[in-house]
Structure 1
Amino acid sequence: MKKLSTFLPLFIALLWTVTASGQQTPSPSGNRPPMPTNDAPALNSAPQGNNKITGIVMDSLSKQPVEFATIALYPKNSPTPIDGTTTDEKGKFSLTGIAGGDYRLTISFIGYRDKTINDLRLTKNDDKNIGTISLAQSISTLNEVEIVGTTALIEEKVDRTVYNAEKDITTKGGDASDVLRRVPMLSVDLDGNVSLRGSSNVRVLINNKPSTIMAASVADAIKQIPADMIKTVEVITSPSARYDAEGSGGIINIVTKKNTLQGLTMNVDLGTGNRGSNLGVNGSYRKGKMGFNLGGHGRLFYNPALSSFDQNTITPTASIRTLQEVESFDRGGFGSYNLAWDWDVAKNQNLSASARFGARNRGSEQDMNISLFQDQLLKSSSFRQVDSRDNSASMDFNLDYLRTYKPQREWSISSQYSRNDLTNNFDSDLFTADELTILNSQRNINNNLNQEVTLQSDYQTPIGQRQLVEVGGKAIARMVNSDYSYFLSEGNSGVYNVDLSRPAGALDYQQNVAAGYLSYTLQTKNKYTFKLGGRYEYTSIDAQTDENGQIDLPAYSNFVPSINVSKNLKSGFIVKAGYNQRIQRPGLQQLNPNFNAANPQNITVGNPGLSPELTNSFEMSLSGNIKKTYMNFSVFRRITDNAISQISLPSDTLAGAVITTYQNVGIQRAWGTNLFGNFQITPKWSINGGLDIVYAFMEGLTRDVNGLSVTVNNSGVNLNGRLSTQITLPKGWGIQGFSFMRGSQVQLQGRQAGFGMYSLGIRKDFKNKKGSIGFGAENFLTKGIRMKTELSSPTFNQLIDIQRLNRGFRVNFNYRIGKMSFDAPKKKAKSVENDDLKSGGDDNNGGGGQGGGNNRGNNTRQK
């Protein structure tokens, strides 16, 4: 963190400017209606006049003002609004400059029933005060008070696609990877590696916040999040300048369940099955202006797998073939615990803090039979037992403050400390051919630390009626450390000594980022919206290893532009076009120099000398409703240079072994399209599905049998698809079905295998609506999933055949206690969002595009 001082003065100066501007008295234009938010209806060009409409919106029970309620003005017989605004902290609103005529006015806010005022007639110079409007809460009083407003499973909003995971009963008892497989445009392999429109360069946030658990490995991190904790998943494919410049494929924001109610409540979730068990307890208490939330969720998992490994390596003097048969059993558990607190300091100020603690204990036991052939003659055979441990302990602390001056004029300051301690160890015992006597034992100890400190400030203000300006600054100080060593024990003595053939080592890596951005949004009267922005980031790096000393990684700066344009068509459809430039810094898994030889014939090692890659993205999309069907169609193009590519090469010292590492050797190009549709057959039966098609081209460097560098390339089509249905039955019964297909994915040196999955869930709600019991089944007609991955180069070819025995059945139980009453939610302080660092996993390439669409989800309200 020693280089933090090099950019803190710049950040403090920007923070002072933002703070000073936030204290200014609102200009006269502040009385005009603000530009509609992302969730507000798009406006037609309103006829100009001298009429005015004013009023006050109040809660029908508490008689308190409802702040930020949405006001929309419609011509009497038109479905399209011509003007709109939101209420202030006193519930007041005002619409001015309206022409004479007949209108209707709608008032809406989350947690309340919409209200419409019809037959609103305005004449010349009419000052219409419609008085106090009472909004009724969207609740029904039974034995207790409960919320009954519901939303569609998938919603398309202007700037993102939202998947409402809490409505999907088929994921009960699973983890976040089970949820992400159901989200449009996302693909998740069996190891949990996530890709967005074919690109694995994505940034995953939790409640709009980064976490160091994601920096180490997204695949491992999402398996720590129980599916029952997730409320929604938001996919942002074309981030604006406000977001960090990283995550070139896009941003995935996982929103966990929170409680905005008054009173005390507790919810219990538990389930068990043949592949895993889960237990979750969540409680909340809110009284007046202060609220607390305390929760904990844990899961145990156990899953067997079979695999075979056929590999040929070629040297100038020999051809060596490796055959390997593996039986493995994965088991372990994880837990996540959180404490959150928020306080409405005043009507226009909010202070919040949160702490999250996570723990993971994951083990894998493998029995390996390995045979080596040289020039088709058996050279040796061996049997190994390998026990791998992947443990972690993580924590995130946040403190956030938000000051609201008027609707859309606000200033926030956010801070975060995040830490993740990881242990990646393995023990390997080599036996005699009869598998009875241990010849020697090997142990690899690898302790890692990933730590971040972040400070940021953001300010936004409307200009007039249809413009919005956002400005902000951010400072991130990162520290990564990896210590590793090898030990060897001869025979079965159990006495380990330092393995001199593989000396111990360490990586010390510090990265500091200073950033500032400016974003401008304009909405024209003819329904065009322009969002233009620029972000400047300066990055300094200090890295060294025990083996090679100081690593020369120069500081670099990037100016990242973003342009997004949308147009509301008369048909109700929205068309969008966008361009953005992104950078992708390497993540811990790609930097870690530990020589991981848990599988002695398939070794992995990171590269601390990696530099970032740069990506340009272009996209277009069309979305809207055709009767009861919502459709979204998009096309995109991605261009990546200096790509961080996964490279596999034969080992120079270990016969028949292949070493996989990462290098800045490639270019990546991708063209693609996404199709998504949501069809409401009846009010109680819907079907939705999507298809992703990406053509990818990759080029990089490897070496031939003589050790000379040669250029290799690969190209092909990646396909992903999903289909699901939801049926609501009488007497509290519900059924959901889901299927997912991930085609084989192009890599620089071959193709990674594809696979398919399907599941069925049935749930019965109790009569008092306080709980439910459900049954779920996954891949119940097949024994498991089989995947074949083929890689090749001038010096080796590899075939990996894996069978996951993942036929699963589970029973889930949910019950909640406590009495709650609804309180109009306040805007909470915004939190840190570090949208950067490239994760490990496969190198599938693809394109990012605008995943938006107008906000026309099939929302319903039901008891």
Structure 2
Amino acid sequence: MKFKLFAFCVIIIGLFTAEAQSPIAKKIRLTGQVIDADTNEPLEYATIVLQSVKNPNNVTGGITDAEGKFNVEANSGVYNIRVEFISYGTYEIKNQNLTKNKDLGVIKLSLDVAQLEAVEVVSERTTVEVRLDKKIYNIGKDLTTSGGTVSEALNNVPSVTVDIDGAISLRGNENVRILINGKPSAMAGFGSTEALRQLPADAIEKVEVITSPSARYDAEGTAGILNIVLKKEKTLGVNGSANLTMGYPNSSQITTNFNYRTDKFNIFNTLGYFYREPPGNGFFDNRYEDGKFDRIIEDRDMSRKDKGFNMNIGMEYFINDQSSITGSFFTRLSDEQDVTENKTERFINSVVDSRTNRKEEENEDDTNYQVSLSYINKFNDEGHQLTADLQYSFDDEDVLSNIIENATYPNNSLIASENIYEIETQKDYLIQADYVLPMGEAQFEAGYRGDFEKEQNEYRLDTLDRNSNEYITNNDLSNIFDYTENVHALYTQYGNKFGKFSFLLGLRLENTQLIGKVKTLDGTPVDNIPGINVEANFDKNYLGLFPTVNLIYELNEYENISIGYNRRINRPRGWFINPFPSRSSRTNVFQGNPDLDPAYANAFDVGYLKRWEKITFNTSVYYQRETNAFERIQEETGETTSDGIEIIRSIPINLATNQRVGFEGSLMYNPSRKLRFNGSFNYFHFDSDGEFNGIDYGTKSSSWFARFSSKVTLPGKIDWQTNAFYMGPRENSQTKSEGMFSLDLAFSKDILNDNATISFNVRDLLNSRKRQSFTESYDANGNLRFTSESEFQWRERQFNISFIYRFNQPKERNGRGGGNNRNGGGEDMDFEG
């Protein structure tokens, strides 16, 4: 089936390519030389821009060599010609009818200080663009994340929060889909955001917050989509940067970006290596109504040694002016060595009965790579185009955990010794084709997407038998789980613009197949699962329609109103369905639920945007109703450990409904070049209902979060940035979490003729980024069974110093983009507000 789909895509591409290449437009050449008007020195890397008068989105051009000379090839036609160089005034001639080769001679450019300052402002600040189906945040010079990770950068994007466990939420909802360059990617991880804690923030160009996704995007993620777009320089020539970061607690990272672009190809490469030792801690106070102990206090210390390497390399080859093909390879290798020590006090009738010390050493090796091939064919300059993508991803995680627990009071003795082996492999295949047909102000789109995932998880628990002094495999908890997820999707959408009114209507059809098989380590099929009354093996098939509606009305050039509606799906990941329990300790197990069904959501959004000369204000009101919503609950298993401790199980379930309504607003204020402020606020209320095993897990709660960022240029051209974030109290069916505040601080200065920047930052200055929560669990009769009060800190306060050096890419060029834009027009129905 996959081969047939691939063959079909290849045939379609071939047919459209043949159509695009006939007839062939006449070629002309534009030559000349660019020099400094005062010194008569040649200006290398000056940009020559040819913009079609008939279709302004059709932009081509080139760049000068070391002697300031240029030789640009283009189709014959009428063009506006510009010659630009950073901090110099622009040379421009309009309406040039180029039917044959033309020599512009010697062009002299003069310095323009005002232009230099304007460019610098644009390159450093974060700006927002509102489109029919998304908001685009162009990440500026964020000093607080210099030397940081993608996860840390995302935490500074409005509407987005990243908790201390690394879980990413959109408007307070964790069911968010993460894409890299518009596609699911090994860079973002599959079903986990851990990979984003290892990728450098320097690689990000912009983040698209898609709360009302159009039909082009897959329907996964009831909260919406975050699309992370990586940097790929568009300017001709060789350019790049290197970033070296050192930090305390022990942390180091080096990242390099390299780009080489000519008229025929563009080579891009990012390399990164990191080593970190981030300390963490936790405290848990658990009280039980039954069992040998009525109270257990746990004090945890976590030390880690994480190191890894990542590489992304690719090349775009321009077959002709209409078509190009891009191939890329990504790999990530990491080695994590984590040690967690847990000191425990156990009480009977409020008197200390015993103390234990538990030490867990976990070693994880992660190998991840991805191969991508992308083809684009532009039939004309109006945006008529076909794109096709093929992608293969592979992920292998090998984890070995050694757990030893000893009694330290009233006597010293060994309680338990365990070895846990986990091997998880995942293969993901993606086939995608998209067709865009402009029709004047209107645009029609259609496409297909196939996503095929195969995952195997092998879990083995060996426990020390103190009688024989040998490790014995616990067959009740050891297993192999095979999981397959196949998704086929067809979509079509139509957009148009009538004066100040724009709309984009779409419909997506998706078929989802979920297959799970459980077997023992020797390959024997398993039907009965301990602890839950459901079948271990399953083969489920879902067919769904997902409509989208996006509207924008422009009140004037600087003000608009938007309305969006979409239907979404949240598919359970493999570890949420794996029915065999795994455990983080002898007393806490996590067990997947193979009876878990996808959740569906209908979402509505009404937004308002207003721009003034120095202020941008953006706000929206949203409502979402989700059925079969996921909820993780804790319950007693009815079992105890050998020393009499109740064993608690966490399990995901489908609740009946979850309704969420909220309001968000953001304000960007730039009173001067030396002073900038950003602020955002999000308030939401959710109401969920549903029961499991006779227990009502419904709840109502409200919460909010806010962030503030300021950037000031001090004397000596030293930049000072402050980021503050507060997450309000929140609760679900069993757990209440306290509010959390964090503060980041950073300073930077440009050196070496602005080719380099040195910066210092402190993340979590007050060491206050901690999760404090309280959990209660009741039985079916409404009787309290146990409570847990906890505090958890993933990483303590961090100090970093960074040095960035740019070659052929001075700071003033950042964010300006080059003049040779081969990707202009047609890709999105982007009627900007």
**Common topology (TM > 0.5):** yes
- Does residue 199 (structure 1) correspond to residue 155 (structure 2)? The answer is no
1:375-414 alignment, distance < 5 Å:
380-406=354-380, 407-414=382-389
Of residues 277-286 and 586-595 in structure 1, the stretch that sits farther from structure 2 once superposed is: 586-595
**TM superposition shift of 1:477:** 1.3
**Structure 2 CA distance for aligned equivalents of residues 256 and 299 of structure 1:** 19
Q: What SS does the corresponding residue of 2:449 show, helix, strand or coil?
A: strand
What is the aligned counterpart of 2:446 among 440, 450, 471? 471
**TM superposition shift of 1:70:** 8.5
- Does residue 537 (structure 1) correspond to residue 510 (structure 2)? The answer is yes
**TM superposition shift of 1:808:** 2.2
Contact (CA 8 Å) 1:356, 1:397: kept in 2 or not?
yes
CA RMSD between the two structures: 4.0
Q: What SS does the corresponding residue of 1:356 show, helix, strand or coil?
A: strand
Label 1:301 to 1:308 Cα distance change in 2 as closer, same or farther (>3 A). same
Contact (CA 8 Å) 1:481, 1:509: kept in 2 or not?
yes
Contact (CA 8 Å) 1:426, 1:598: kept in 2 or not?
no
1:415-814 alignment, distance < 5 Å:
415-434=390-409, 437-463=413-439, 465-490=440-465, 495-500=470-475, 502-524=476-498, 526-546=499-519, 548-549=526-527, 551-570=537-556, 572-593=558-579, 595-654=581-640, 655-703=645-693, 709-729=694-714, 732-780=717-765, 782-794=766-778, 795-803=785-793, 806-814=796-804
Q: What SS does the corresponding residue of 1:554 show, helix, strand or coil?
A: strand
AA of the residue aligned to 2:172: G
AA of the residue aligned to 1:664: N
What is the aligned counterpart of 2:232 among 248, 252, 258? 258
Label 1:64 to 1:815 Cα distance change in 2 as closer, same or farther (>3 A). closer
Q: What SS does the corresponding residue of 1:177 show, helix, strand or coil?
A: helix
**Structure 1 CA distance for aligned equivalents of residues 356 and 112 of structure 2:** 70
Contact (CA 8 Å) 1:350, 1:403: kept in 2 or not?
yes
- Give 1:337's aligned residue: 311
AA of the residue aligned to 2:217: Y
**Structure 1 CA distance for aligned equivalents of residues 85 and 656 of structure 2:** 48
AA of the residue aligned to 1:358: R
AA of the residue aligned to 2:791: D
**Structure 2 CA distance for aligned equivalents of residues 110 and 175 of structure 1:** 32
**TM superposition shift of 1:314:** 4.1
**Structure 2 CA distance for aligned equivalents of residues 818 and 495 of structure 1:** 63
- Does residue 295 (structure 1) correspond to residue 251 (structure 2)? The answer is no
Q: What SS does the corresponding residue of 1:150 show, helix, strand or coil?
A: helix
**TM superposition shift of 1:330:** 3.0
AA of the residue aligned to 2:620: S
Unpaired runs of at least 5, structure 2: 35-44, 61-72, 521-525, 528-535, 779-784
Contact (CA 8 Å) 2:639, 2:646: kept in 1 or not?
no
AA of the residue aligned to 2:303: F
Q: What SS does the corresponding residue of 1:638 show, helix, strand or coil?
A: strand
Label 1:256 to 1:116 Cα distance change in 2 as closer, same or farther (>3 A). same
**Structure 2 CA distance for aligned equivalents of residues 107 and 584 of structure 1:** 49
Q: What SS does the corresponding residue of 2:194 show, helix, strand or coil?
A: helix
**TM superposition shift of 1:283:** 2.8
Of residues 630-639 and 172-181 in structure 1, the stretch that sits farther from structure 2 once superposed is: 172-181
Contact (CA 8 Å) 2:404, 2:417: kept in 1 or not?
yes
**TM superposition shift of 1:729:** 4.6
AA of the residue aligned to 2:173: S
AA of the residue aligned to 2:593: N
**TM superposition shift of 1:377:** 6.3
Contact (CA 8 Å) 2:47, 2:84: kept in 1 or not?
no
Of residues 566-575 and 588-597 in structure 1, the stretch that sits farther from structure 2 once superposed is: 588-597
Label 1:510 to 1:372 Cα distance change in 2 as closer, same or farther (>3 A). same
- Give 2:155's aligned residue: 181
Q: Report 1 or 2 for greater relative contact order, CA contacts < 8 Å, sequence distance ≥ 6.
A: 1
**TM superposition shift of 1:765:** 0.8
**TM superposition shift of 1:60:** 8.5
Q: What SS does the corresponding residue of 2:147 show, helix, strand or coil?
A: coil
Contact (CA 8 Å) 1:56, 1:131: kept in 2 or not?
no
Contact (CA 8 Å) 1:15, 1:457: kept in 2 or not?
no
Label 1:340 to 1:140 Cα distance change in 2 as closer, same or farther (>3 A). farther
**TM superposition shift of 1:13:** 5.8
* TM-score under structure 2 length normalisation: 0.83
CA displacement, residues 8-56 of structure 1 (integer Å, 9 cap, x when unaligned): 75786687668756765899xxx9xxxxxxxxxxxxxxxxxxxxxxx99
What is the aligned counterpart of 1:357 among 331, 346, 351? 331
**TM superposition shift of 1:187:** 0.8
Label 1:606 to 1:733 Cα distance change in 2 as closer, same or farther (>3 A). same
Q: What SS does the corresponding residue of 1:228 show, helix, strand or coil?
A: helix
**Structure 2 CA distance for aligned equivalents of residues 498 and 452 of structure 1:** 31
**Structure 2 CA distance for aligned equivalents of residues 761 and 431 of structure 1:** 44
Contact (CA 8 Å) 2:579, 2:591: kept in 1 or not?
yes
**Structure 2 CA distance for aligned equivalents of residues 798 and 815 of structure 1:** 50
CA displacement, residues 193-229 of structure 1 (integer Å, 9 cap, x when unaligned): 1100111111112222322464544331210112222
- Give 2:39's aligned residue: none
Contact (CA 8 Å) 1:58, 1:91: kept in 2 or not?
no
**TM superposition shift of 1:684:** 2.5
Of residues 132-141 and 484-493 in structure 1, the stretch that sits farther from structure 2 once superposed is: 132-141
**Structure 2 CA distance for aligned equivalents of residues 211 and 554 of structure 1:** 25
**TM superposition shift of 1:284:** 3.1
- How many aligned positions are there? 766
* TM-score under structure 1 length normalisation: 0.80
AA of the residue aligned to 2:764: N
Q: What SS does the corresponding residue of 2:513 show, helix, strand or coil?
A: strand
- Give 1:846's aligned residue: none
**Structure 2 CA distance for aligned equivalents of residues 313 and 68 of structure 1:** 73
**Structure 2 CA distance for aligned equivalents of residues 381 and 481 of structure 1:** 39
**TM superposition shift of 1:256:** 2.5
Label 1:672 to 1:324 Cα distance change in 2 as closer, same or farther (>3 A). same
Label 1:218 to 1:804 Cα distance change in 2 as closer, same or farther (>3 A). closer
Unpaired runs of at least 5, structure 1: 32-54, 73-83, 96-104, 121-128, 704-708, 834-849, 856-863
**Structure 2 CA distance for aligned equivalents of residues 574 and 109 of structure 1:** 33
**Structure 1 CA distance for aligned equivalents of residues 320 and 86 of structure 2:** 22
Q: What SS does the corresponding residue of 1:542 show, helix, strand or coil?
A: strand
AA of the residue aligned to 2:326: S
What is the aligned counterpart of 1:153 among 115, 123, 126? 126
- Give 2:136's aligned residue: 162
**TM superposition shift of 1:112:** 12
Label 1:289 to 1:594 Cα distance change in 2 as closer, same or farther (>3 A). farther
**Structure 2 CA distance for aligned equivalents of residues 737 and 236 of structure 1:** 27
